[in-house]
Amino acid sequence: MTKHAHGEDVPVLIIGAGPAGLVLGNLLLAAGVDCAILEQRGRAHVEQRARAGFLAANTVRVLAENGLDAGLSARGKEHDTCAFRYPGGQFELCYRKLGRAEVHTVYPQQHLVADLVAEFLARGGDLRFDTEVTAVTGLDGDRPEVATRDAGGVTRRWTSRYVAGCDGRHGASRRALPPGAVRRHRRDHDVSWLALLVQAPPSMEAVGYAVHERGFAGHMARTAEVTRYYLQCPRGTDPMSWSEDRIWAELHQRMQAETFGPLREGPVLERAVVQMESDVLSPIQFGSLFLAGDAAGLISPSAAKGANLAVMEAEILARALVLAVHTGDSAALARYSADCLPRVWRAQEFSHWMINLLHGPTGTGEEADFLRGLQLARLESLRSSRSHQDHFAENYVGI
């Protein structure tokens, strides 16, 4: 396929080159459906921005079945154990031996995105970087229009039969929804994390979740040389206000390094404050617009579900679009929301449960003491109950 000319009609326009948009684009090309991807950022930014790196079994299946797993197969690493540290001690869960016996595959999202970009271009796909979508109109008709502006200020107007909004919660796709078209279900969990990417090997084989009176701390391997850490912090924290000495002191204390072994230290490569927020749009479609990834719903990072939900939605949407374009059968498109949203809500429920498991109440007093008692009871149940462990494993790795 060649690049589309100015104003040319394209069967499917995809807004956003994240996991959802890129998987969708690759699946459509493989099925002979012409499409174009419009991405506001430059290629280097898209391929280098660090995001989650835990791919669920269903995500790995989708990538493998569609020839999108070359990098994943070569460099991904299976992971099957998480460890919980709390005032009662430490316990580990090997989820390969629990639930459906599924595992995560650790593969940094920026590597996956780079793979998907390369494959899309190799398949002849039209991918426009540095292209801002300024307006999406006509969604209630059969030829919606998408207006764009490139880095040089050149404006274009695209037409298509279908638009896939994969450009996140603040993107043009959500903004194009008319008032009252969808309902937004939102939850602010009142929890903030200082997210850190550290140039240091992992300090433990397991994913580490530490519950401490000073706040949550997390440890997650990314590569043999880079580790992701999280520290619960007050709302409104400036990430640059924490010195590296303070960061490492908090990590050592909260992860009980004196008891369970020292942490391997290194320079902090990236830092940002993440607010624990969740939202779900219902439905995730309007007229000719279909949302996927964070545009369809935001999930907190507490259970590593974001990219996995995006791939799940992309697969379902691709199948429906292929049928509609090739045969004119739009029944699967009509039920896109109904097919996706029950899985989205299940992932949201587990993420919400994880937030309550890992974060104690703020403040003091009888109510706070009571809630801390409930938190410890959840941890003890997870430590001692096989049925609880099976349920955890099924939801931790699945969608």
Run of H or E residues at 347: helix 336-358
Strand partners of residue 10: 160
- Write the DSSP assignment of 229-266 as a string of letters: EEEEE-TT--GGGS-HHHHHHHHHHHTTHHHH-PPPP-
Cβ atoms of 228 and 217 within 8 Å: the answer is no
Cβ atoms of 166 and 28 within 8 Å: the answer is no
Tokens of 191: 């929890």
Beta strands 35-38 and 126-128: pairing type?
parallel
Tokens of 50: 């660090």
Return the residue matching tokens 């050149």.
Answer: 154
Q: Is the dihedral of CA 174, 190, 265, 221 positive or negative?
A: negative
3-state secondary structure of 173: helix
3-state secondary structure of 41: coil
Torsions phi, psi of 235, nearest 5? Answer: -60, 135
3-state secondary structure of 284: coil
3-state secondary structure of 140: coil
Query: Which residues are annotated as catalytic?
Result: 79, 209, 301, 305, 396
Tokens of 220: 């997650």
| Short-list 367, 194, 337, CA closest to 274 | 194
Q: What share of the chain is helix, strand, coil (3-state, %, to 5)?
A: 40, 30, 30
* Residues 62, 38: Cα–Cα separation, whole Å: 23
Torsions phi, psi of 352, nearest 5? Answer: -65, -40
